[in-house]
Chains A and B, each alone.
Chain A
Amino acid sequence: MEFKFTETQDKLRAEVRSFLEEELKHGSFEPSNDAWIDGYSKEFSRKVGAKGWIGTIWPKGYGGKEWSFVDRLIITEELLRFGAPVAYHWMSDRQCGPCVIAYGSDEQRKDILPRIIKGEVSFALGMSEPDSGSDLASLQTRAVETEDAFIINGQKIWTSGAHEADYIYLVARTDPDVPKHKGISEFIVDLKLPGITVKPIVDMMNSHHFNEVYFDSVRVPKSALVGERNRGWYQIAVQLDYERSGLERIMSPYPMFHMMLDLARQEPVLYNNPEVRHKLTDLVVKFEVGRLLIYRVAWTLSQGRVPNFESAMAKIYGTAFEQHLSHMATQVLGLSGQLMEDSRWAPLRGLASRSYLFCAGATLRGGTSEILRNIVALRGLGLPSQ
């Protein structure tokens, strides 16, 4: 065992940090919670790309560096720690790129991967539908193959960032006459195609980050199909593991956490209060546990093994932590914990109350904690299914 990083990795972390400190100094961004979801900056993503920090784990043949999953985690940890606006390239780097590498055609790889690596292309994830959330395999959006195209009809919902993205990574039904898991395919669809309508949904924070996406006889070229027709369900499984196993599942409110600890170090009313001390230190301990559960996933991957329940475990733990943190932060701030961003008196720039609202979705998006616990129990612990 060795709970430390290599010298090269330490150097990498230091480099990412000094880049971010520099950017902060130039005011290129303000640290924000959840910036991997709603911090869209094409310009910033280009800078991260120029640094060579996107697609680092990919094969060299596709422009990657063949770094380890742990290396990638170090980069993302620093980006999240600083609350940098990385939403524009996040999904592409995390899961869409790897899917194209695993299942895409050569044409797709040549087209998409170099652009992802430069931070120049953004994906939204088109999975959930009004009647198909946890039961994703029951999805109804149809893709009908014609001689030279697929014609897509249907509706996606809760699509984060569809109004900012260039493409939607779409799962649709290509064969309605076989068991539900066996008739699904994946597509990369240009969001500018005629027939696509992106309609904003106002979320419970009164902001617009996710959408409904309607497909009305949208004609996509055959080359948009990723991998094999009707094998989509099996392809997605890998994608979901990537989706669930990152540090964004515990660090979404990290900038607020960091500010809160700083505030507590300075404010006698806080540091002199034994309850506050216990709450904060308990959070620090819990965070460290979660961080290790997530590093375990990356480490497992870097050993060439598939973490088939570990990422579910990490996400359950991490998102529960995020909710606990947000609750504790608002509570430690007492009456002031209810002040929102624009209030003159709001401590921590109002990030605590914001985080309290946003965290309600943490245990839902990317697979609910109930579904993930089923995975841990069945796949991880070998418990019998009902």
Chain B
Amino acid sequence: MDLSLSEDQEMLRKMARDFLANECPKTLVREMEEDEKGYSPELWAKMAEQGWTGLPFPEKYGGVGYSFLDLAVLLEEMGRACLPGPYFSTVVLAGGAIMEAGSEEQKQKLLGEISEGKLIATLALTEPSASYKANDIQVTAAAEGGGHVINGTKLFVPDANVADVMVVVARTGGQGAEGLTLFLVDPKASGVSITQLKTIASDKLCEVTFDKVKVGQDAVLGEVGKGWPMVETVLQKAAVAKCAEMVGGAQQVLEMTVNYSKERVQFGRPIGSFQAIQHHCANMAIDVDGSRFISYQAAWMLSEGMPSTKEVAMAKSWTSDAYRRLTALGHQVHGGIGFTKDHDMQLYYRRAKAAEVTFGDGDFHRDVVASEIGLPDPA
């Protein structure tokens, strides 16, 4: 057993932390919350230069060829910095789907462009039902003249407002997990309309409607009707990737809070000398470390290609709740100053709620654990 990062990972972590400290200060984070696009193209270009946009893709597709575990290390730093923008959607979601389902040609072209920082992409999966279950996918794609015509509404699509291409999960027939197909759709295609939603994390989630959107044969990613298993794999990785971001945010909130409780004086002593505050900080530390190990265990297993359904579900169910709990304690220790927009505490508190409900919340993943430990489905 070895619970530490490798030397290379330590280096990646340090580089990422320094880079983001310089390039992604909280002023940028705040600015991007109000920004139409929600990201800085200059920063994106610099991230591509660092090899970040191609980090997990094989070298033969233009990527850097790092492992999923390495990616988790980077994502942790991104979570710590509250990095705004379409990295997650492009690399983890769309990139992940293209890796899973794409033809050689599609991978060459799309992963190459992503790695170069020239292509922003996203995954259009969930719908107004707000569900991650195959059953609830209702956007349809009807075969027509060699291609397909897509109709329906996707909701909570991250960064669709700036994407160059969307991977759209649509029903080409059948029921449940059968008959779902992945399509590459140009967000500027006629019949596609995109509206930004107003969200708690001020991230760029969008409503995307498809009104008789025609796509050609070459738009299919993978095989017609066989898309869902790919989506499941992407969702597993996305859940753990989100955990890594949460761990980074949680670590930062803990550090901020411990520092503040050493500085803030009330009753003639640092508030950190009161046991009530010490206990809050200790509880936060337990939540950070618990989240870290359960998340990295899952990331490692995915990286090694091991079956990890249960570990992924345990990681997301635990970390979703722990991060939210921890940010609430962070606020409690900060008192009034943390309740202001100018303070960084709220940036994390809002993101914790968004991260909690994204890719399945605690309940969703506890259900997965229930099946994994052999509890029969309720009658």
A323 within 8 A of B: yes
Contacts of A343 in B (CB 8 A): 197-199
Are A331 and B357 neighbours in the complex by a CB distance under 8 Å? yes
- From B201, B271, B335, residue with most partner A Cβ within 10 Å: B335
A353 within 8 A of B: yes
Verify A373–B276 contact, CB threshold 8 A.
yes
Residues of B within 8 A of A365 (CB): 336
- Decide: A134 and B267 in contact? CB cutoff 8 A: yes
User: Contact: A361 with B339, CB < 8 Å?
Assistant: yes
**Interface stretch among A88-96, A161-169, A198-206, A292-300?**
A198-206
B337-379 interface with A by 8 A CB criterion: 338-343, 345-346, 349-350, 353-354, 356-358, 361-363, 378
Q: Which residues from A are CB-within-8-Å of B324?
A: 327
Among B155, B336, B378, the residue within 8 A (CB) of A128 is B336
Known: A334-B361, A363-B332. A356 touches B340 (CB 8 A): no
- A342 → chain B closest CB, angstroms: 5
What is the CA–CA distance of A134 and B265 in the complex, to the nearest angstrom? 10
Q: Which residue of B lies closest to A337 (CB)?
A: B357
Q: Is A311 an interface residue (CB 8 A)?
A: no
Q: Is the interface of B mostly helix, strand, loop or mixed?
A: mixed
In contact, A157 and B336 (Cβ under 8 angstroms): yes
- Taking residues whose C-beta sits less than 8 angstroms from the other chain, chain B's interface range is 35 or more
Minimum C-beta distance from B368 to chain A (A): 13
Question: How far is it, in angstroms, between the C-alpha of A218 and the C-alpha of B353 when the chains are bound?
Answer: 44
- Best-surrounded residue of A274, A335, A341, A357 (most CB of chain B within 10 A): A335
Query: Interface residues, chain B, CB within 8 Å of chain A?
Result: 126, 128-131, 155-156, 195, 197-201, 205, 207, 265-268, 271, 274, 276-277, 324, 328, 331-332, 335-336, 338-343, 345-346, 349-350, 353-354, 356-358, 361-363, 378
CB-defined A-B contacts under 8 Å, sample of 26: A128-B336, A131-B265, A133-B335, A134-B271, A135-B266, A135-B267, A138-B268, A203-B341, A204-B346, A204-B349, A275-B363, A331-B362, A334-B130, A334-B131, A334-B361, A335-B126, A335-B156, A335-B357, A338-B199, A338-B357, A339-B198, A344-B207, A345-B128, A346-B198, A360-B331, A374-B276
Known: A202-B340, A339-B197, A365-B336. 14 other contacts (CB 8 A): A133-B336, A138-B268, A204-B341, A269-B129, A327-B324, A330-B200, A335-B126, A338-B201, A338-B353, A344-B195, A357-B349, A357-B350, A360-B346, A374-B276
What residues make up the interface of A, taking CB atoms closer than 8 Å to B? Answer: 128, 131-135, 138, 157-158, 201-204, 206, 269, 274-275, 323, 327, 330-331, 333-346, 350, 353, 356-357, 360-361, 363-365, 368-370, 373-374
